[in-house]
Chain A
Amino acid sequence: MTSEDIARELAAEADLALSVEALARLAAQIGGLRASVAKLAALDLAEREPAVTFTALEDADA
């Protein structure tokens, strides 16, 4: 699915009539967000459980 497809789908789901420019901007933002989040896929996280910050800090300090 392209960023443009996702943008159109999101707008429809939210019942928003976005202008062509607004849709294009949203699509560009989706592309940027996907690229940003994808960077985390490159990390070696095999042994790491999800952090729950507070617990993690308590544990770290214990």
Chain B
Amino acid sequence: MPDTDLCWWSATELAQAVRRRHVSPVEVVDLLLRRIERLNPRLNAFLLVTADLAREQAREAERALAAGDEVGPLHGVPLAYKDLYATAGIRTTAGSLILRDWVPSEDAAAIARLRAAGAICLGKLNTVEFAYGATGANPHYGNCHNPWDTARMPGGSSSGAGAAVSTGLCYGALGSDTGGSIRIPAAFCGIVGIKPTYGRVSRVGVVTLAWSMDHVGPLARTVADAALLLQAIAGHDPRDPASSRRAVPEYRAALDQGVRGLRVGVVRRHFFDRLDPAVAAACQHALETFRGLGATVVEVDIPHLREAGPISTAMIFAEASSYHERWFPARAAEYSAEVRERLLLGRTISALDYLRAQRARRLLIEEFRAALSQADVLAAPTVAFPPPRFDEPTVDVGSRREDTALAVVQLTRPHNVAGLPTLALPVGFTPGGLPVGMQLAGRPWEEATVLRVGQAYEQATDWHRRRPPV
């Protein structure tokens, strides 16, 4: 039997209970709306709650069940979406003033697929302005707060997704990840998130940060839920030029096959260079857990891993400044100082810089490919330190103080450069009660493998069952 408190059920459990008519989607939506009303003032996870729409969709879901209609895998499951995703008839701000009055006429492709699968829309979630940052700060609509300690950052840019899923305000969410924006909030909020292979999920209707680095994917409380949500949104979309035609496998089929015989690769360089002691201890313990489950832990190397930082910087800065030419500099005053500064900086990247970064990117992709010929997944900490406070512009990374905004993306950017499927999941807590996350990267299109390895770990531990104190 799942947790007695309905808001903590997994999406998988809820979908099953709704389908069997053990639970009413109308009652679930009412429960969550009350919970959002109570907790959102402290968290600022939701920028907009679509209460009427959610109730209407819940009633429709109930009617369909009563009529004996065939229903989708997420029938009656309330979700919420990063406000970077276009929602038909619903204001979509991208966390910006520039788009404060934008009401799209169509849903983003991923949202349309979730709706077709039966999901209910609870509302739009806080995001860093135009997804351009990873702390969770937003000067226009207010910072989103970490539910484990509201003085701390939830991580970003999918900040609201991390906070809302972690607090039981919804059963899953959509985020986006250009340099770690799904995985960082997953790590800081103690939940699961998956950045799929570049091209696996359509980006149509998601406001761009950097075309060649943007990935869209789900955040959830369990690995099985992440698989369930990914299954619903993955697949070819002819409107997205990067979208793959490859068939989408059944992600949950291999989920419970365990890790015996699999190789978990560890790249010490960069990923383990300088870590907070609690992060180092939790990750070491996770590797021992994999060994205990029958996996082999192997050391592998990616010689130019540290170059992922400059590659990512050149690509994102140049592409973002190009995308924003439609508004910047003409409407520069409507941007926050931080984003304005980054958009100016992007204009200094020369064509030579950009091409050099793209060529170096190929080198890094080749090295990742070689490492993944020696291992089935690559395990690394998601962030080198626990969530900092909002008033900490610098943070301790190992023995060095670093700029928080830069330090937070150090370990996540390589997987965007390489476009690899990467699952983030909780692997422990600091002595002060803050979550610690690990990321598992797999070969291109092998989401099923990273989910399987994550599931084996999750089944052997109970970090995902801890609830924030808020």
Contact = CB atoms under 8 A, between A and B. Distances in A.
Interface of A: 6, 10-11, 13-16, 22, 25-26, 29-30, 33-34, 36-37, 39-41, 43, 45, 48-54, 56-58, 60-61
State the 5 A-B residue pairs at the shortest beta-carbon distance, nearest first.
A14-B329, A50-B358, A51-B362, A57-B444, A51-B361
A30 B357 contact: no
Contacts of A53: 198-199, 212, 242, 361, 365, 418-419
B337 A15 contact: no
A34 B346 CA distance: 11
Contacts of B348: 6, 10, 30, 33-34
Interface string B361-385: 1110100010000000000000000
Contacts of A52: 212, 358
Given A25-B341, A30-B345, A37 B310 contact: yes
Nearest to A41: B356
Contacts of A33: 313, 317, 345, 348-349
A58 B413 CA distance: 21
A61 B443 contact: yes
B344 A54 contact: no
Contacts of A60: 365, 369, 444
A16 B332 CA distance: 8
Contacts of B337: 22
Contacts of B419: 53-54, 56-57
Contact of B357 (A11, A25, A40, A49): A40
Contact of A14 (B244, B328, B361): B328
Contacts of B445: 57, 61
Contacts, number: 110
A18 to B, nearest CB: 9
Given A14-B328, A61-B445, A36 B313 contact: yes
Contacts of B100: none
B344 A50 contact: no
Given A54-B198, A54-B242, A54-B244, A40 B307 contact: yes
B196 to A, nearest CB: 12
B369 A48 contact: no
A41 B242 CA distance: 28
Interface string B294-320: 000000000010010111011001000
Contacts of A45: 356, 359-360, 363
Given A14-B328, A43-B304, A54-B242, A37 B313 contact: yes
A37 B356 CA distance: 9
B330 to A, nearest CB: 9
Contacts of B332: 14-16
B465 interface: no
Most chain A CB inside 10 Å of its own CB: which residue of B212, B344, B360: B344
B334 interface: no
Contacts of B365: 51, 53, 56-57, 60
B197 interface: yes
A32 to B, nearest CB: 9
A52 to B, nearest CB: 7
